[in-house]
């Protein structure tokens, strides 16, 4: 039951959805009701014990079973009365009985007779006929006068559109429409709101019948097609529904109808979705949810450890709508090999003598007899361990030596090679030792001479720090290059954190010098402050300010300390802004190189501060990359660290993306104790949930704001792309997290 309009044809209130109830407006029908508007459509359904009520201050609120009060309507003033009209609009009135809010101004997926969709507004399809949360497509009344359909999460550019009215300035019109309108007689048209001039008509009015009441609604349906319906109510109480106009008759015209890594075919009257070869449906009962690979494409990057065998499967008359990342003229056989040899290539299209390579996911796939392209899909055959690899093919030139001669020759060559190798190692070790001794002396001399202008830090003796830490008794944490201990300085009774560097003979000195230089030139209230240092021979220590509330890891991975959603969102933004400072606002650009929850500390006000520049690297102005050895922490370090290639600030972006996904889910990036194998690798699991529109799985029963959840997930997935060029800058990361800019749908983090 709901709050009915005078005619009884419309009602406002709770309607069943999923395992609970949503608040909305529906058109009453003989067989079933038709929902035409939903409040807070992306919130979880309310329980059966939830209530709607007007508070004394005039706010219409939903009171949940848990005691939360959720506004049903935002932005209106205090209301003293409300009405459910026969037009299908729910209206709020102030004390002067002037309308201050109405549902017609905020359409979800439907407009009714007398309702408009104004310029710069849009309707978003529902998830399904029974689930009225936001779906996969949107219909935009653009500022240029064109009414256009797009997939959700697309760029909103013309290449992503799949239907338009063909009106507006882009089509040479000097006088173009500004709103979509539906009148009570069923006329659906585009008009100029200022002059009320009809510019384009989709369907004309019908003559009303005296023996029946007809209600018209224009709905942007879950399949992405815009349809005009008529609901005819006979005097005897019966009713029927019919489609009187639609934007398309073929569901395969809708880009993204079948989801990612799939293709649409229309052999009869209804479209069918199929997975590309090598893929399986994410949800076999809902094939429009798209598909995922049935093997781990990341194996391609591990060819040096094992032999991975792939094959190519072809599909004729197939195309899709994404842009290729590479195009070259060649034969089809060459195109197949070209894709097989490229780990980034998930599929290729061969058309008119050209080879087009694409990364996953594949979007907008379709079988079309008018399509001349052939799709080449990479599939996985088998994996052969290195020990079982077949022997290499013999060389064309053969040298045959019999019996003892062979043994003597082999032994001679082997012993000679070993002796030469030992000589090279001895010389190299002596040279490295000399270099270290020389640099130790140089650093010690600088400290003894008081050359601390670059650092402006205090110098401590080893004995002083050993005493301050009570013999390094209370360990706060341990990193790749040393442990951190709690201490109290005798000179001013200040509580500090002392990091004792280990492995200093090899990489510790590099770490020490990098950390000293970076902090000497870096001053920010949200970076953990380095107070001083100690250099005594091979002993090197750093003294930091002490953070009483521990690290972000202590909060995220401890169920009892876990921050609420709003706090986690704030921490993510704080962290992004701190990294932006290092990348773009310091005198010298700094790559932190080891961003992880353990290196993000919380001060007394629970503000996130970045610590541990142990791996930090300075970039001079206009320097795009640095060549360095492997750094960072496993699970957080970017792939380029392991490829001996140029490393830039994009390495920090990758690490931030891993941390961001951990902030969302409050779990580590790699977890073995999980419910299913899909959940072991966090980024892969998150991407699967995003594709399947099951983001609620990531936060369990926690109440979160869905839009911010989706934003953080998308940003995190963009940041952990294998290709550094695909990762956004930290400035763009902040804009996306703030909701200032739209976020395109990210590719799969790994092939």
| Residues with catalytic function | 594
> Angle at CA 150, nearest 5°, toward 146 and 155?
100
Cβ–Cβ < 8 Å for 228, 245: yes
> Which H or E run contains 252?
none
- Give the DSSP per-residue string, 40-78: TTTSPPBPTT-EEEE-TTS-EEEE-TTS-EEESS-S---
State the Cα–Cα distance between residues 129 and 609, nearest whole angstrom.
Answer: 47
Asked whether residue 331 is marked as a ligand-binding residue, the answer is: no
Q: What are phi and psi of 216, to 5 degrees?
A: -105, 145
**Is beta strand 475-479 parallel, antiparallel or unpaired with respect to 197-203?**
unpaired
State the Cα–Cα distance between residues 360 and 373, nearest whole angstrom.
Answer: 18
Q: What are phi and psi of 104, to 5 degrees?
A: -60, -25
State the Cα–Cα distance between residues 106 and 57, nearest whole angstrom.
Answer: 23
Scanning the structure block, which residue is given the tokens 């309108």? 181
Number of H helices, E strands in the chain: 11, 43
> Which H or E run contains 274?
strand 272-275
Closest by CA position to 540, among listed 430, 439, 434, 431: 439
State the Cα–Cα distance between residues 749 and 683, nearest whole angstrom.
Answer: 7
What Rg do the C-alpha atoms of the chain give, in angstroms? Answer: 33
State the Cα–Cα distance between residues 98 and 240, nearest whole angstrom.
Answer: 36
Q: List Cβ neighbours of 402 (8 Å cut-off, separation of 6 or more).
A: none
Supply 672's token pair. 């073995």
16, 515, 519, 629 from 648: Cα distances, Å: 52, 17, 19, 13
Q: Which residues share a beta bridge with 23?
A: 14
In 235-271, the DSSP E strands lie at 239-246, 262-265
Supply 701's token pair. 């029963």
191, 294, 348, 363 from 358: Cα distances, Å: 41, 18, 6, 10
How many other CB atoms are found less than 10 A from the CB of residue 623?
11
Cβ–Cβ < 8 Å for 309, 383: yes
- In the annotated binding site for ATP, the residues are 499
């Amino acid at each position: 039951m709901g709050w009915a309009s005078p005619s009884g044809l419309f009602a406002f209130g709770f309607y069943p959805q999923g395992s609970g109830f949503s608040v909305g407006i529906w058109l009453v029908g003989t067989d079933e009701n038709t929902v035409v508007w939903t409040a807070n459509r992306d919130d979880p359904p309310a329980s059966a014990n939830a209530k709607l009520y007007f508070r004394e201050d005039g706010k219409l609120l939903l009171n949940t079973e848990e005691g939360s009060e959720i506004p049903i309507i935002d932005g209106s003033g205090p209301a003293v009365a409300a009405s459910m009209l026969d037009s299908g609009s729910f209206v709020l009135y102030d004390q002067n009985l002037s309308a201050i809010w109405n549902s017609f101004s905020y359409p979800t997926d439907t407009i009714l007779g007398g309702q408009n969709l104004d310029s710069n507004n849009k309707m978003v399809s529902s998830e399904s006929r029974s689930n009225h949360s936001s779906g996969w497509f949107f219909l935009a009344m653009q500022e240029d006068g064109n009414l256009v359909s797009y997939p959700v999460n697309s760029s909103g550019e013309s290449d992503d559109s799949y239907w338009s009215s063909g009106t507006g300035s882009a089509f040479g019109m000097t006088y173009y429409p500004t709103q979509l309108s539906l009148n009570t007689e069923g006329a659906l048209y585009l008009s100029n709101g200022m002059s009320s001039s009809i510019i384009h008509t989709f369907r004309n009015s019908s003559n009303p019948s005296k023996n029946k009441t007809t209600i018209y609604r224009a709905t942007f349906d879950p399949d992405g097609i815009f349809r005009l319906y008529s609901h005819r109510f006979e005097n005897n109480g019966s009713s029927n529904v019919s489609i009187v106009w639609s934007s398309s008759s073929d569901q395969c015209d809708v880009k993204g109808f079948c989801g990612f890594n799939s293709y649409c075919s229309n052999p009869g009257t209804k479209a069918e979705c199929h997975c590309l070869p090598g893929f399986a449906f994410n949800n076999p009962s809902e094939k429009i949810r798209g598909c995922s690979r049935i093997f781990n494409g990341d194996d391609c990057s591990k060819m040096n450890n094992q032999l991975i065998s792939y094959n190519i499967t072809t599909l004729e008359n197939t195309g899709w709508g994404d842009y290729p990342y590479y195009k070259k003229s060649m034969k089809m056989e060459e195109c197949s090999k070209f894709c097989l040899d490229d780990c980034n290539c998930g599929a290729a299209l061969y058309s008119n003598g050209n080879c087009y390579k694409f990364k996953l996911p594949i979007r907008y796939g379709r079988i079309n007899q008018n399509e001349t392209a052939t799709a080449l899909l990479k599939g996985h055959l088998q994996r052969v361990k290195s020990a079982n690899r077949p022997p290499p093919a013999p060389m064309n030139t053969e040298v045959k030596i019999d019996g003892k001669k062979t043994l003597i020759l082999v032994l001679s060559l082997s012993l000679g090679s070993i002796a030469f190798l030992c000589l090279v190692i001895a010389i190299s070790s002596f040279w490295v030792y000399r270099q270290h001794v020389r640099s130790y002396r140089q650093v010690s001399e600088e400290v003894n001479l008081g050359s601390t202008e670059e650092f402006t830090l205090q110098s401590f003796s080893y004995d002083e720090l050993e005493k301050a830490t009570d013999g390094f008794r209370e360990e706060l944490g341990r990193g790749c290059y040393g442990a951190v201990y709690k201490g109290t300085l005798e000179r001013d009774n200040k509580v500090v954190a002392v990091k004792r560097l280990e492995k200093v003979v090899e990489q510790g000195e590099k770490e020490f010098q990098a950390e000293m230089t970076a902090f000497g030139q870096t001053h920010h209230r949200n970076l953990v402050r380095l107070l001083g240092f100690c250099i005594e021979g091979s002993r090197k220590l750093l003294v930091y300010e002490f953070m009483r509330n521990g690290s972000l890891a202590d909060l995220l991975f401890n169920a009892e300390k876990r921050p609420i959603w709003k706090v986690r969102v704030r921490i993510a933004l704080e962290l992004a802004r701190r990294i932006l400072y290092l990348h773009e606002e310091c005198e010298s650009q700094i790559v932190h190189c080891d961003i992880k929850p353990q290196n993000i500390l919380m001060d007394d006000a629970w503000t996130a501060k970045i610590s541990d520049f142990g791996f930090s690297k300075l970039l001079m102005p206009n320097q795009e990359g640095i060549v360095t050895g492997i750094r960072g922490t496993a699970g957080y370090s970017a792939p380029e660290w392991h490829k001996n290639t140029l490393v830039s600030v994009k390495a920090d972006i990758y690490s931030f993306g891993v941390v961001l996904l951990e902030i969302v889910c409050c779990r580590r990036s790699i977890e073995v104790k999980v419910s299913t194998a899909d959940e072991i690798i966090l980024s892969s699991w998150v991407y699967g949930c995003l594709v399947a529109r099951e983001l609620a799985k990531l936060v369990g029963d926690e109440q979160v704001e869905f839009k911010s959840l989706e934003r953080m997930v998308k940003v995190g997935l963009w940041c952990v792309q294998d290709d550094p060029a695909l990762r956004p800058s930290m400035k763009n990361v902040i804009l996306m997290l703030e909701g200032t800019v739209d976020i395109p749908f990210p590719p799969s983090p790994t092939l």
